[in-house]
Structure 1
Amino acid sequence: MRRSFTFLLRPTSRQAAALAQCLEDQRQLYNAALEHRRIAYAKAQVTIRYGDQSGELKHIRADDPDGQGRWSFSSQQATLRRLDKAFAAFFKRVRDGRTPGFPRFKGRGRFDTVEWPKDGDGCRWDSQPDHPAVAYLRLQGIGHVRVHQHRLVRGRVKTISVKREGSRWYVILSCDGVLAEPLPATGAVVGVDMGVASLVTTSDGAHVANPRHLATTADRLADAQRDLARKKRGSKRRRKAVARVAALHAKVRRQRLDGAHKAALALVRDYDVIVHEDLRIANLTRSTAGTIEQPGRNVAQKSGLNRSILDAGWGVFLTILSYKAESAGREVIAVNPANTSRACSRCGHCARENRVTQAEFRCTVCDHQAHADVNAAINI
C-alpha cells in the first residue's frame, strides 16, 4: 500500500530564501506555460500539450542558467504536468456539462508546493545517513536541509514534495510498499453518527466532543483580519498582517487534524467493522442565499450551520479513518444516511415527529426514548 509521511523542515535563513525563490521560479514557469497554451489557441487554433512544453525546457534552462537553470529538470516537468492535469480536469468538466472553470494564473499566495517525481533525481531523502542524530533532505540548488523526523519512514520513497505553510516548510514523502500492520480482532461492530454538538457518537453510546477549534480562535482571527484590512497593499506591515492571519488558520488546521487522528485511532483499535454515513459534505454546506429574483430563506442560520460543519472537519475525519482502518485490517462501510435520525431503532417507525429536540428522540409509536445521536448511530 502507499502512504505519505510529512515532516517539518528546519532550513537556515539562506536555505529558506532559496526555497522561496524555487517556488517563485516554478510559479512563473507554470504561468508562462499557461500563457503559451492560451495564446497558441487564441491566435492560431493550435493545441499545446505537455510533451511540446516539456521539450522546450532544455532551451528555457539554457537561456536562464541563473534562474530556471538552477533547479531540478524533473521538478519543472512535474510543474508542467500539474498544468496538464488542470487542463484535463477542465475538459472533463466541459464534457460532463458542469461549470468548466478554466485554469487560472497562480498568484504569489496560490503556489506553495513543488514536487520531485523520483527520489534521487534532483533530490535525495536521508542524504546524510551516517549522521548520528539528524535527518537531512538534499535538494538541487538548495543543499542539505535539516528535517525534523519524528517517526520512521516505511516502504520505498517514491516522490518528494516540499510545501510552504505560512512561515513553515514541510517535506511530504510518498512511499510505496508500506506493509499493513493488522491489529488483533475484537469481534466488535459499531455505527458512527457525525454531528456538530458531538463530533462522533457511536452506537455504544460514546460521544467524542467537537472541540470547535475555529470558533475558539474566532476572536483572535477577527482582530487579525481587521488589522489586515487597515494595512496598505504592498507594504511590509501588510505582509506581516497576512502572515499573522495565515498562522492562525494553520494552527486551527493542525489542531483539527490532530483531533481527527486521535478519534479515528480510538475507533480502529476498538472495532473490527466501522459503519458511518455516506455524507455529501459539499451538498450539506451549500449556501441557501438563492438569487435576487428568488432569495433564500433562513440564510443566516444556514450560514452558521455550514460554518459549524466545516469547523468540525467531517471530511478530514472520514479520510483519516479510512486509511487507518486499511492499515489495521479493519473494515469501513459507508451507508445511505436517509432517515437514520428519524427512524426508531427499536420498532423501525419513521416520522419527523420522533425527533423531539436536537438531542432527544422519542418514538411516537412504541415510546422508545434515547439520545437522538445514539439512536441514529444504531440505525447506521
Structure 2
Amino acid sequence: MALRRSYKFRLRPTRKQEAALTACLDDHRTLYNAALEHRRTAYAKAGVRVRYGGQSGELRHIRADDPGGQDRWSFSSQQATLRRLDRAFAAFFARVKAGRTPGFPRFKGRGWFDTVEWPRDGDGCRWDSQPEHPTATFVRLQGVGHVRVHRHRSLRGMAKTISVKREGTRWFVILSCDDVPAQRLPAVGAAVGLDMGVVSLVTTSDGDQLPHPRHLAASADRLARAQRDLARKVRRQRLDHAHKTALALVRTYGVIVHEDLRITNMTRSASGTLDAPGRSVAAKSGLNRSILDAGWGVFLRVLAHKAERAGRELITVSPTGTSRTCARCGHRAKENRLSQAEFVCRRCAHVVHADVNAAINILRAGLALREAAGAA
C-alpha cells in the first residue's frame, strides 16, 4: 500500500540566500494582500465577486509591471498563493452557509505569512538539485539559488510539492511525497488499553505508565522574554515525544484502544459570562493548561497515523464511567476514586492505581466493540 507523506528538513541558507528567502516571502505576502484588496474593493464598489481564474490571469501583467520584483519569483508559486486566498474565501462562505461565525479573510502581517509553496517539483523549484554532490543535498528555488538542506533522514516516494517555511529565525523545506511505501510491522497478538492522564501521558492496561516531560512547565521561566520562540520549541519537543511514544506502542500491540476524547470541549474556559459567571475558574484553568501541556491531541493524531501505516487496529471508546468503574467487580461510584492516583472499590475493596483501572476498562470496552462488530 502506497501513502502520501510529508518530509520536513532544516535549510542552511547563506546570508545572501536568507535575504532572498525573506524577500520571496514578503513579495508573496504582498501579492496575497493585494489580491484580497482587489476582491474586497470589487465587491464593495460594484457587487462583483472576483475569483481565482481572473486573478491568475492578471499575474502576467503584474509581473511585467514589476521588473526585478514580482517577476523574479516562480509563476507557479504565485498561483499557489492566489489559490491559498481562494481557499480562505471558500472556507469563509462555507462557514456562512453553515451558520457559524464566518471570520472574513484578513490581510497578512509579517508574522502571519510564513510559507511559500511550489506546486510541482521541477516548476520553479528542484529537489536534490545537485545530485553529483557527494555529501550534501540541495534544493533549488527560483530567485534564491541552490540552498543546502540538512537531510537528517532518507526520503521515500516521489516529491510532488515543495514548500519553504520560516519558523522564527529558522528556515525549513517541506516536501509532500506520493507513492511512499507503507512500513508494516510484524503482526503481534497483544492488545492494550490506554488511559490519558495529566500525571502520566499514558497509562496502559498492563500497568505501564509512560510519562510526559512537561516541557511547557519546565520552560515557563523563559516565556516572558522568548514567548514565540519557546512555544515553537515546546511544540517540536511535544511532537517528537509523541512520535517516540506512539511508535513504541504500535511496535508492541496489534490492537490499541483509547478514549474518544473531545479535547476542545474539555479545555473550554469555565469563566462563563457577566450574568452567569463560572465556578472554580482558577482550578479549571490549571487543568486546561495541564491537558494542553500533556499534548493529548497531538499524541492521538500521531498514534492514528502510525497505527494505520503499521497495519494496527485502533479502537476508540466512550470515556464515560471508565475512571469510576471497578475493573474487578464492575461497581461504578464516584467515591471509588479517592484521588488522582488511588482507586479503592467501595463494594469489593479492590485497590489499584486509578489510571491502570481505567485503562483496563477501556481495553474491555474496545474488545467488546470489536467482538460485536465481528459478530455482525
Structures share fold, TM-score greater than 0.5:
yes
Is 148-157 or 358-367 further displaced after alignment? 358-367
- The match for 1:113 is 115
* Candidates 168, 175, 184, aligned match of 1:173: 175
* Candidates 76, 79, 82, aligned match of 1:77: 79
Is 250-259 or 23-32 further displaced after alignment? 250-259
Identity %: 73
Q: Distance between the aligned counterparts of 2:265 and 2:160, measured in 1?
A: 35
- The match for 1:100 is 102
Q: CA deviation at 1:69?
A: 0.8
Name the Cα RMSD after superposition: 1.1
* Candidates 216, 231, 235, aligned match of 1:214: 216
- The match for 2:371 is none
Q: Distance between the aligned counterparts of 1:129 and 1:335, measured in 2?
A: 49
- The match for 1:138 is 140
Unaligned runs of 5+ in 2: 363-376
Q: Distance between the aligned counterparts of 2:296 and 2:95, measured in 1?
A: 26
Q: Distance between the aligned counterparts of 1:167 and 1:365, measured in 2?
A: 59
Superposed CA offset, 1:201-230 (max 9, x none): 1111101112110110101213x1xxxxxx
Q: CA deviation at 1:296?
A: 1.0
Task: Indicate whether 1:368 and 2:368 are aligned.
Answer: no
Corresponding residue SS for 2:223: helix
Q: TM-score, normalised by structure 2?
A: 0.93
Q: Which amino acid aligns with 2:278?
A: G
Task: Indicate whether 1:154 and 2:156 are aligned.
Answer: yes
* Candidates 239, 246, 258, aligned match of 1:264: 246
Superposed CA offset, 1:250-299 (max 9, x none): 22122111111111111011011111111111111111111111111111
- The match for 1:241 is none
Q: Which amino acid aligns with 2:271?
A: A
* Candidates 41, 44, 49, aligned match of 2:43: 41
Corresponding residue SS for 1:374: helix
Superposed CA offset, 1:92-151 (max 9, x none): 111222111111111110110111111111111000111100000000000000000011
Q: CA deviation at 1:62?
A: 0.9
Task: Indicate whether 1:315 and 2:283 are aligned.
Answer: no
Q: Distance between the aligned counterparts of 1:348 and 1:43, measured in 2?
A: 68
- Runs of 4+ aligned residues of structure 1 deviating over 6 Å after TM superposition are none
Task: Indicate whether 1:251 and 2:253 are aligned.
Answer: no
Q: CA deviation at 1:247?
A: 2.5
Q: CA deviation at 1:305?
A: 1.1
Corresponding residue SS for 2:324: coil
* Candidates 334, 343, 354, aligned match of 1:352: 334
Unaligned runs of 5+ in 1: 225-243
Matches within 5 A, 1:285-304: 285-304=267-286
Superposed CA offset, 1:8-64 (max 9, x none): 000000000110111111111111111111111111111111111111111111111
Give the aligned length: 360
Q: TM-score, normalised by structure 1?
A: 0.92
Corresponding residue SS for 2:112: coil
Q: Distance between the aligned counterparts of 2:51 and 2:320, measured in 1?
A: 45
Q: Which amino acid aligns with 1:46?
A: V
Q: CA deviation at 1:157?
A: 0.6
Q: Distance between the aligned counterparts of 2:331 and 2:58, measured in 1?
A: 67
Q: CA deviation at 1:178?
A: 0.6
Q: Distance between the aligned counterparts of 1:87 and 1:362, measured in 2?
A: 55
- The match for 1:231 is none
Superposed CA offset, 1:338-380 (max 9, x none): 2211222222222212211111112222222211111111111
Q: Which amino acid aligns with 1:329?
A: G
Corresponding residue SS for 1:177: strand
